[in-house]
Amino acid sequence: MSKIEPLVIIGSGPSGYTAAVYAARAQLSPILLEGSVTAGGALMNTTEVENFPGFKDGIMGPVLMEEMRAQAERFGTRFITDDAVKVDLTGEIKTIEDGSGNKYQAKAVILATGSGYKKIGLAKEETLSGRGVSYCATCDGFFFKEQAIAVVGGGDSAVEEATFLTRFASKVYLIHRRDELRASRIMQKRAQDDPKIEFVWNTEVIDILGEDKVTGVTLKDTKTGETKNLSLTGIFVAIGHIPRSELLIGQIDLDDAGYVLAKPGSTKTNIEGVFACGDLVDHVYRQAITAAGTGCQAALDAERFLASQGIFSA
Ligand code: NAP
**Residue 42 near residue 49, CB atoms below 8 Å:** no
Cβ(114) to ligand 1 under 6 A?
no
Q: Tell me the C-alpha distance between 237 and 56, whole Å.
A: 30
Tell me how far the alpha carbon of residue 99 is from its chain's centroid.
Answer: 20
Q: Is 140 a catalytic residue?
A: yes
**Residue 80 near residue 32, CB atoms below 8 Å:** yes
Cβ(15) to ligand 1 under 6 A?
no
> Looking at the whole model, is its pTM more than 0.85?
no
Q: What percentage of the chain carries pLDDT values higher than 70?
A: 99
Q: What is the pLDDT of residue 137?
A: 92
Element (H, E) at 150: strand 148-152
pLDDT at position 103 over 60: yes
pLDDT at position 218 over 90: yes
Bridge-based pairing state of the strands 59-60 and 94-98: unpaired
Average pLDDT, the chain: 96
Choose which residue among 125, 159, 182 to substitute to test ligand 1 binding: the one with the highest number of ligand atoms within 8 A of its C-beta.
182
Tell me how far the alpha carbon of residue 35 is from its chain's centroid.
Answer: 13
Catalytic residue among 88, 139, 179, 255: 139
Cβ(76) to ligand 1 under 6 A?
no
Higher model confidence: residue 138 or residue 298? Answer: 298
Distance from the CA of 242 to the center of ligand 1, in angstroms? 11
- Nearest Cα residue to 150 out of 126, 132, 138, 130: 132
Over range 184-204, report the average pLDDT: 97
Instruction: Output the residue whose Cα is nearest ligand 1's atom 4.
Output: 155
Q: What is the pLDDT of residue 46?
A: 78
* Helix, strand, coil share of the chain (percent; to 5): 30, 30, 45
Over range 136-143, report the average pLDDT: 90
